[in-house]
Amino acid sequence: MEKSIETIWNEGFLNKDSIVVPKLNNLYNQKSKHLIGKFKRMGRNNLYGIVIGASFMLILSFFLKIPIIGSLFFLSLMLVVWAGKKQNDKLEELDVSLSSYDYLKSFDAWLNNAISQYMKIFRFLYPLLFLAIILGTLYADMSPFLRERTIDKIMNDPDTVLLFGLPIYYITPMLVFLALVFLFSDKIYLFDIKLIYGNIFRKLKETIADMEELRAS
């Protein structure tokens, strides 16, 4: 009786000394390489995109006459790039001589650790970024007509109570908003990365689950 694919797989992929089905071994080897290779490319492109976007915002901040806020925004994003570079270096240190299954498990462990580290960073970074955006919106050098009818009108109103140069009724909701961002930073970050890497995360879990199912059979 001809062997089933599952039997062939168990004899071939799970037994390193077997040469029964080298094509099946190569299939999952290539699938693993493609998956992680795609993740690495997307990660590098994401870091390049952050550098380009942060640099553009820094230059724009000088035109809007808010260079301090622009610099704060830029430096905050450069922290993300620095952390990303450090994590990429750790990813490159994974032992590529491992079997596809062991390498994917190592990659999955690295990924979970990286996400945990990023969560700690973004817990403080998200409020800082949002604060820079809010202050930039308030202090940016807009057209004279628009500023005269909005910010200047509020600031010059004798009934307006100011705190640190801002209307008190601006500060209270802003602080509440930043506190909520801090409290829900983990959920915001997970939502953010799933938008970018969600498909890869799903395929990674599916591939590992398939391998473990075959190993248990």
Instruction: Give me the average pLDDT of each 10-residue run along the chain (217 residues).
Output: 44 45 58 82 93 94 87 92 92 81 88 93 92 78 53 60 66 88 94 91 85 68
Q: What is the pLDDT of residue 1?
A: 42
**DSSP string computed for 6-17:** HHHHHHHTS-TT
Q: Give the model's pLDDT for residue 3.
A: 45
Return d(Cα 166, Cα 156) in angstroms, integer: 11
In the prediction, which pLDDT does 172 show? 83
C-beta atoms surrounding 136 within 10 Å: 19
Q: Residue 212's pLDDT is what?
A: 76
**Other CB atoms within 10 A of residue 25 CB:** 20
Tokens encoding 203? 């395929």
Asked if residue 183 lies in contact with residue 121, where contact means CB atoms within 8 angstroms, the answer is no
The H or E element containing residue 121 is: helix 100-139
Residue 161: φ, ψ to 5°: -90, 120
> What is the predicted pLDDT for the residue at 5?
40
What's the pLDDT at 20?
A: 41
Separation of alpha carbons 30 and 18, rounded Å:
18
- Positions of E strands within 99-198: 162-163, 166-167
Q: How far apart are CA 102 and CA 14, in angstroms?
A: 11
Length of the chain: 217
Q: What are residue 162's DSSP bridge partners?
A: 167
Q: And the tokens for 164?
A: 């640190």
Cα 74 to Cα 54: distance, rounded to the nearest angstrom: 5
Match 């004279």 to its residue by tokens. Answer: 144
Q: Residue 24 has what pLDDT?
A: 53
* Measured distance between the N- and C-terminal CA atoms of the chain, rounded to whole angstroms: 19
Residue 150 to residue 141: CA distance in whole angstroms? 12
